[in-house]
């Protein structure tokens, strides 16, 4: 009986992990598309992040394809942030760093991208100082 319970928990953890990766990827894609220029460089940043978050190499393209469909069919970022906001501070920081890397992959942030990041700050319960520090770090690294 306990083995059955452990199997169910393992399946739930995998489903929760897949859901988190899917929602996170949709958010990253949303940020990449917000300037109406979704580039291969941005896609590579997303792939690298997925692998760092524990996705299998063989699953990355499938996750991205599904997330692109989810992002296209969604009309609000709340769908994507629900899973992320309940994660730990380090996970949120990783996502924010990735988002700024995507935004600054073309060496500039437009007003729509800045607005997205301000909204995400509140949705993910991150203070303005943390967001600003991450932005400046990524911006400095992108110009070097």
Residues 105-129 have pLDDT tens digits of 998 899 999 999 999 999 999 999 9
- What CATH number has the domain spanning 17-142? 1.10.3680.10
Domain locations in the chain?
17-142
Whole-prediction pTM: 0.86
Residues 39-75 have pLDDT tens digits of 999 999 999 999 999 999 999 999 999 999 999 999 8
SS (H, E, C) the chain: CHHHHHHHHHHHHHHHHHHHHHHHHHHHHHHHHCCCCCCHHHHHHHHHHHHHCCCCHHHHHHHHHHHHHHHHHCCCCHHHHHHHHCCCHHHHHHHHHHHHHHHHHHCCCCHHHHHHHHHHHHHCCCCHHHHHHHHHHHHHHHCC
């Amino acid at each position: 009986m306990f083995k059955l319970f452990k199997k169910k928990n393992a399946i739930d953890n995998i489903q929760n992990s897949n859901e988190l990766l899917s929602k996170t990827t949709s958010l990253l894609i949303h940020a990449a598309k917000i300037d109406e220029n979704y580039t291969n460089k941005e896609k590579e940043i997303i792939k690298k992040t997925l692998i760092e978050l524990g996705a299998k190499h063989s699953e990355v393209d499938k996750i991205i394809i599904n997330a692109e469909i989810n992002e296209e069919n969604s009309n609000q970022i709340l769908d994507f942030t629900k899973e992320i906001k309940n994660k730990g501070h380090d996970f949120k920081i990783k996502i924010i760093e990735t988002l700024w890397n995507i935004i600054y992959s073309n060496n500039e942030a437009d007003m729509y991208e800045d607005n997205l990041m301000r909204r995400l700050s509140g949705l993910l319960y991150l203070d303005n100082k943390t967001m600003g520090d991450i932005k400046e770090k990524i911006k400095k690294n992108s110009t070097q």
